[in-house]
Amino acid sequence: MRSIEESPVTRDGKVLVLAYDHGIEHGPTDFAPQPESADPEHVFEIATHPAVTSLAVGKGVAEAYYPSYEDDVTLLSKLNGTSNLWMGEPDSAVNCSVEYAAEELGAEAVGFTVYPGSNHEVEMFEEFREVQEEAREYDLPVVMWAYPRGQGVKNDTKGGVVAYAARLGMEMGADVAKVKYPGSRDAMEHVCEMADPTKVIMSGGSRTDDREFVESVKAVMDAGGSGLAVGRNVWQRENPMEILDALEAVIFEDATVDEALRGAPANA
C-alpha cells in the first residue's frame, strides 16, 4: 500500500466514506425507511457535510449526479457489486473499470468488494489484483470491502476472521480495508495490528440507535482504526446531518461519545 495521508479521500489521515451502493447490493428495500434517500441527489447533498471524505457510488449514479457535485464531493467509484437476488456462492460482478472511473467519472479513489472464503475467492482475488495495479497507474487510492463469506466462513464477525480479512487487504495492496466490527475494542486492536500500515475502517452496517452506533465508532477509533464507511446509519435517519456532526466529533476531534451526542437527539 501507499501513503494516502495527503489524498482527497482522507482528512487529517482519517476516513469517513458515505456509502451509497445499496441500490445494487440490497435494492429498494433500503430506501423505504426514508423514501427521499432513493433520490441520489438527496444523498449527494448529505455528502457535502465536512465530515464526509468521499462518497461511494456505482457508475450510473456517478454519471448522472457527480458532475453537479464535483466541487463539493470526493467521488469513490465502487467498481463491483451484485444484486441481492443472486442466490449462489458470494461473488461480485465487475461493473466499471478503473480507467472509466478515472477518466470518464473523475473518481479520486476506487472501491472493490472481495469475499474471502467464497468458492469464487480465486477469481475475486485476481480481479482485485488487476484493479489495484491499474489504480496505481492513475494514482488512485484503493479501498477493499473485505467481507469473509461463503461455505468457508462460519462467523463473519469473529475477531480472528475479521483480522484475517484486514490482513488480506494489506497483503493484496489495499490502501484502506473496510471490515465489520468484531464486537470489542480489544478484538479491533488486533484487526488493526494485522492490517498495519493499511488503514482499517468499520462498516456501518444496519441502522441502529445513535448511542450504540457512535459507541462502536468510538471503540474503533480508540483501537487504532482510521474511521468508518457508513450508509444506512446516516441516510436512513430523518436528520442525517446531525449524526454526521456526531461522527465528525468522534473521528476527527477525538470527542467522547457523550460529547459527540450532546447536540444530537437520541434515535434521530
| pLDDT above 50: residue 267 | no
The pLDDT, as a whole number, for residue 80 is: 98
| pLDDT above 90: residue 3 | no
The pLDDT, as a whole number, for residue 214 is: 97
122-145: burial string, b at 16+ Cβ within 10 Å, e else: eebeebbeebbebbeeeebbbbbb
* Other residues' Cβ atoms within 10 Å of the Cβ of residue 245: 18
Q: Which three cell numbers stand for residue 166?
A: 484486514
* Other residues' Cβ atoms within 10 Å of the Cβ of residue 55: 26
Q: Which three cell numbers stand for residue 114?
A: 472481495
Q: Which amino acid is residue 208, in one-letter code?
A: T
Strand partners, 110: 77, 142
Categorize the per-residue pLDDT at 2 as very low, low, confident or very high, splitting at 50, 70 and 90. Answer: confident
* 109 and 73 Cβ atoms separated by less than 8 Å: no
Task: State pLDDT tens for residues 75-106.
Answer: 999 999 999 999 899 999 999 999 999 999 99
The pLDDT, as a whole number, for residue 263 is: 61
Is 178 tagged catalytic? Answer: yes
Please pick, among 59, 78, 178, 199, the residue that the annotation labels catalytic.
178
E strand map for 3-93: 15-19, 54-57, 75-78
Coil, strand or helix at 168: helix
The pLDDT, as a whole number, for residue 253 is: 96
The pLDDT, as a whole number, for residue 10 is: 96
The pLDDT, as a whole number, for residue 37 is: 97
Task: State pLDDT tens for residues 120-135.
Answer: 999 999 999 999 999 9
Task: State pLDDT tens for residues 194-213.
Answer: 999 999 999 998 999 999 99
Share the mean pLDDT of the chain.
Answer: 95
Categorize the per-residue pLDDT at 6 as very low, low, confident or very high, splitting at 50, 70 and 90. Answer: confident
| pLDDT above 50: residue 265 | no
Q: What are phi and psi of 154, to 5 degrees?
A: -95, -35
Q: Which three cell numbers stand for residue 79?
A: 467498481
Query: DSSP for 199-226?
Result: EEEEE--S---HHHHHHHHHHHHHTT--
Alpha-carbon gap, residue 78 to 94, rounded angstroms = 9
